[in-house]
Amino acid sequence: MRKFTMILVTAVAVAAILGISAGPANADAVIYEPFDMPAGALPGQAGGTGLGTWSGDGGVVASGSMTFGSLPASGNRYTGAGGYYESWAGFSTTLSSAGLLDHSAELWFSAVLQPGSSSNDYGFIGLSSATGNIGANFGSVPTVANIMGIWLQNGSDLQLVNAVGGTPVGGRNKVKENLSLLSPTLVVGKFTWGADGASNDTLEIYLPWGGLAQPAPQTTTMTTVIDQSTFSYLGVWMRNVDSQVDEIRFGATYDDVIGVMGPGIVAGDADENGVVDAADYIALKTHIGTATGAVLANGDFDVDGDVDWDDLQILQDNFGKTSAGGAVPEPATIFVMLAAGLPALLKRRRRA
């Protein structure tokens, strides 16, 4: 009995040191468009959170939301109408009042995209200073206003685009080829505004898996100098009915634009279930020493392609931490792993 009591007390102490908390925390987007409106033409419909009424020359709301992994979803979805039709919703001071258009600020966004099945399927989602024509091949015709966002080209190529004063700048920066056709993909972006009006503004893209863990950014980024304070519209365009978009969010952090502090965003969470626990330790232990080709599920927590001492350190530093939706590990489980499992791996490293 004395031995059991000692183990329990030690386990509780370890849990306290690790700062375990069961309280999930929701994240909030300042703009959220789930297209929760009647099916039919989009122009004239009231926009979602932080948006005014939609306007434009086309675009259709179709029944049923698009889902991706554990991303919260509701409402309907936006589809193309078979032509070069744009839709726009003003957001007035929604972003500027939150400080998200300030110099040096970060503005995150996300959207669920479904590329169409044809090379003639195109699409755009982004920020603009006014309504205008962006449809007929962005980068080869004049546009109206300052524009910055993402572009679907030839159905499945994800690109970054921008225009300054109505003139496309720098062509189209291809981020990823061959997105899955007719399959929803969650695209997350981060605008980082320059320190002043003459400094570079950048756009990075992230493509999370279904567990919503924040991945490393895609290697292709876009850099430009644009006056972000002029942005006052969200622009959406999908050319054909197979090309669709849903669940558009803008916020201050990655968590804000995935709807919640989602499962799997804690460093060391190999199985993306929202908690760093014994299962993640087992994944790392099984693959420790893998030199190339490792992924998160194998215990590659620093995303460098291997499973090594650095990954073990990340797991040890975060063991017991949880995010929204994650179950808090039992204190006894924590104690057993720390008292028995980790020293075994540490011993293995010393022998190596």
CB atoms under 10 Å from CB of 279, counted, come to 14
The pTM (predicted TM-score) of the whole model is 0.70
* Residues with pLDDT less than 50, the chain: 1-26, 136-137, 139-140, 262-264, 332, 334-336, 339, 350
- Nearest-angstrom CA–CA distance, 336 and 318: 16
Residue spans of the domains in the chain: they are 2-24+263-351, 31-257
Give the CA diameter of the chain: 80
Q: What is the pLDDT of residue 180?
A: 63
Same fold, 2-24+263-351 and 31-257: no
**What tens digit of pLDDT does each residue of 257-287 get?**
998 654 445 778 888 777 889 999 999 999 9
Query: Buried (b) or exposed (e) across 208-227, using 16+ Cβ within 10 A?
Result: beebbbbeeebeeebebebe
Q: Thinking of the domain 2-24+263-351, which architecture would CATH place it in?
A: Orthogonal Bundle (1.10)
- Residue 344's region, left for phi above 0, alpha for psi from -120 to 50, else beta, is alpha
Decide yes or no: CATH 3.40.980.10 for domain 31-257: no
Query: Tell me, what's the pLDDT at 345?
Result: 55
pLDDT at 173: 67
* pLDDT of amino acid 286: 93
Give the pLDDT confidence score for residue 8 in this predicted structure. 32
- Cα(243)–Cα(156) distance, integer angstroms: 10
